[in-house]
Amino acid sequence: MFDLAGKIAVVTGGSRGIGRATSIALAEAGALVLINYRSNEDAAKHTLGLIEQAGGQAELLRFDVADPESVDRGLKEAIERHGRIDILVNNAGISIDQLLLRVSPKDLDLTWATNVNGPIYCAKACIRPMMKKRWGRIINLSSVVAESGNPGQVVYASSKAALLGLTRTLALEYASRGITVNAVAPGFIETDMTADLPDAGKQGIIDQTPLGRIGRPEEVAAAVVFLASEEASYITGQVVRVNGGMHV
Ligand code: NAD
């Protein structure tokens, strides 16, 4: 549908869940996908295998988004190898859920290091080659809770709301260089991140979702591919909500 042939894409946290579906979808559209992972090499290799079996192109790229030196090293190597990164998908994220009174500095720091600082470091590492090419796409995975709020997710929701400020600001900073920056805000999607929720909780979410079901990673990946495409060239600083109508 969308043609990304000749584009080099990085998907952080690309080994499973939404990151895996996004890596597969970008590769199906013709991009060479650098599947970032931090520690789960087996899962990353599985994603790589799925892409290769389908005739797509991908490579593994190890770094920890929460560690600025690791990000710089990983992305510098990738840029030296391929000359540039055209599409950066800031997908890696963690969720440590608790009420305000139980929030610890450690959980807060780790969440922000991963969910907010990570996307900033990754964007910083990719932006110069994008500016040189006068073409780039940065897509940040936020969440429905960034806009709706959710009891028990003060740390996660605030980090995902910060990503929206980051998205809008980078969109304004780099629009004149042909770089678009957008966010995708999923609702409740069936992945490892949401697997532990008890059935009653899942049913509660389904009841609050007008489309009456939980979302699939592929449905989020489709929005990312569109935003990465030439067809989305006049869209920047926006939030695409893939949430079944949960928050409108
Ligand atoms: P997931 O937990 O299945 O996958 C997240 C990936 O990020 C994993 O591969 C993990 O290893 C990786 N990761 C975590 N910390 C990392 C680090 N420091 N460096 C590199 N990689 C790291 O989660 P998912 O459900 O696929 O979510 C993907 C993104 O979508 C996340 O940003 C998440 O917050 C967001 N999101 C998910 C949902 C949902 O319902 N699943 C809803 C809204 C937003």
Nearest CA to ligand 1 atom 11: 13
The yes-or-no answer on residue 156 being catalytic is: yes
Contact 31, 52 (CB under 8 A): no
What's the N-to-C CA distance of the chain in angstroms?
27
State in Å: Cα 100 to ligand 1 middle.
22
Residue 240 is predicted with a pLDDT of: 98
Tens-of-pLDDT digits for all 248 residues of the chain? Answer: 899 999 999 999 999 999 999 999 999 999 999 999 999 999 999 999 999 999 999 999 999 999 999 999 999 999 999 999 999 999 999 999 999 999 999 999 999 999 999 999 999 999 999 999 999 999 999 999 999 999 999 999 999 999 999 999 999 999 999 999 999 999 999 999 999 888 998 999 999 999 999 999 999 999 999 999 999 999 999 999 999 999 99
| Binding site membership of 159 for ligand 1 (Cβ less than 6 Å) | no
- Reported as half-sphere exposure (CB side, CA atoms, 13 A), residue 128 has a value of 9
Helices of type H across the chain: 17-28, 41-53, 68-82, 105-112, 118-133, 145-148, 154-174, 199-207, 217-228
Q: What is the DSSP letter of 234?
A: T
188 lines ligand 1 (CB under 6 A): yes
Q: Which residues are CB-neighbours of 61 under 8 A, at least 6 positions away?
A: 10, 34, 35, 36, 37, 74, 77, 78
What separation in Å is there between the alpha carbon of 23 and the centre of ligand 1? Answer: 13
Question: How many CA atoms are closer than 13 Å to the CA of 106, on its beta-carbon side?
Answer: 1
- Provide the pLDDT for residue 1: 80
201 CB neighbour count, 10 Å cutoff:
12
Distance, in Å, from the CA atom of 138 to the CA atom of 154, rounded to the nearest integer, reads 25
How far apart, in whole angstroms, are the C-alpha atoms of residue 91 and residue 238?
16
Short-list 224, 244, 143, 236, CA closest to 185: 143
